[in-house]
Each structure stands twice: as structure tokens, then as C-alpha cells.
């Protein structure tokens, strides 16, 4: 079968290549790739006791709508994107001692907070207050609210 005279295999392969390149570009623009240089989750790190949830957040000005899974445990916060978006977005682990929270201005959708990490202070995550409250419930670390 052909789409516009192009073999279907080429269309499919082109889409896959496009998706991989796009995912890597989003990682570079958002800062995920930079954070991963310092906070990439070590291979084999067990997450058996970590509890988490799927959420939306902004990383710099890039939107990750319902595509980031955040897990917390006694050691810190684990972030990973859904498998379909994983190219260029390795799972992250940030120890509690490296996490800093700043309250952001209130806006129409409610309060949100900036989360930054000590080794990448210029890259900030913007997370709404309800997600922050879930982290307070799930983890032992209590974020300032």
C-alpha cells in the first residue's frame, strides 16, 4: 500500500525518526537533558518502596502534560516520562538535599511552585500546588507550602 506514491514502510520509518528527533529536541530545549547530566538515575536503582503518580508540569517553558511520573522515597525524588516520550529523557533521581522549592505567584489556575536542583539552579520545574500536596503525602520530605 502506498500513501501519496510513497511506500508505507518509508512513511512509517520517517515518522519513527521524526518522533525520536523531536523527543531529543524537547529534552534539549526543556533542560531535561542538562538535568540528566547530573541527576540521571543510576542503573539498577530499586524503586520498590517508592510511591508515585502521573502529573503535568512545566520544565522551563516546555509543557509535559500528564506525561511525567514522579515517585518519592526516603532518598529523594524520581522523575521519568512515559515510555513513548523516553528518547532523550532518561529517568532522573534527585536527593532531597539538592531540592529547593520557591513559591510562585498565584494565577487563575491556583498556586504553583518552582522546584530547582542545586546542580542545575537555572532550570526550574513549575508544579501546581495539588501535585505538591501529593508529594507531601507520599514522601517523608515536607515541602514548604
Cα Rg of the chain, angstroms: 17
- Residue 79: phi and psi, rounded to 5, are -125, 135
Q: Which of 3-7, 68-72, 140-144 has the highest mean pLDDT?
A: 68-72
Is 16 part of any domain?
Answer: no
Identify whether the C-beta of residue 70 lies closer than 8 Å to the C-beta of residue 93: no
95: how many CB neighbours lie within 10 A of its CB? 13
Q: Which helix (H) or strand (E) holds 37?
A: helix 32-39
Is 58 part of any domain?
Answer: yes
**Structural domain boundaries, residue 92:** 32-138
Is 12 part of any domain?
Answer: no
- Residue 47: CATH number of its domain: 2.30.29.30
> pLDDT value at position 3?
54
In this prediction, residues 99-107 reach a mean pLDDT of 76
pLDDT band at 68 (very low <50, low <70, confident <90, very high): very high
Is 9 part of any domain?
Answer: no
Q: How many domains does the chain divide into?
A: 1
Q: Taking the model in full, what pTM does it have? A: 0.82
pLDDT band at 4 (very low <50, low <70, confident <90, very high): low
For the cut 70, the answer to whether the pLDDT of residue 134 exceeds it is yes
For the cut 90, the answer to whether the pLDDT of residue 35 exceeds it is yes
> pLDDT value at position 78?
92
Is 74 part of any domain?
Answer: yes
Strands 99-103 and 112-117: antiparallel
Amino acid at each position: 500500500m502506498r500513501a501519496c506514491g510513497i511506500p508505507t514502510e518509508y512513511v512509517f520509518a520517517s515518522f519513527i525518526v521524526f518522533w525520536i528527533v523531536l523527543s531529543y529536541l524537547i529534552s534539549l530545549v526543556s533542560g531535561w537533558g542538562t538535568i540528566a547530566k547530573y541527576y540521571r538515575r543510576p542503573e539498577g536503582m530499586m524503586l520498590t518502596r517508592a510511591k508515585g503518580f502521573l502529573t503535568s508540569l512545566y520544565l522551563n517553558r516546555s509543557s509535559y502534560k500528564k506525561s511525567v511520573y514522579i515517585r518519592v522515597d526516603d532518598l529523594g525524588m524520581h522523575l521519568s516520562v512515559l515510555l513513548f516520550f523516553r528518547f532523550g529523557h532518561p529517568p532522573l533521581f534527585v536527593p532531597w538535599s539538592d531540592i529547593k522549592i520557591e513559591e510562585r505567584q498565584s494565577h487563575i489556575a491556583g498556586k504553583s511552585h518552582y522546584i530547582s536542583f542545586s546542580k542545575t539552579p537555572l532550570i526550574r520545574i513549575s508544579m501546581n500546588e495539588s501535585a505538591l500536596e501529593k508529594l507531601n503525602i507520599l514522601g517523608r520530605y515536607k515541602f514548604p507550602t
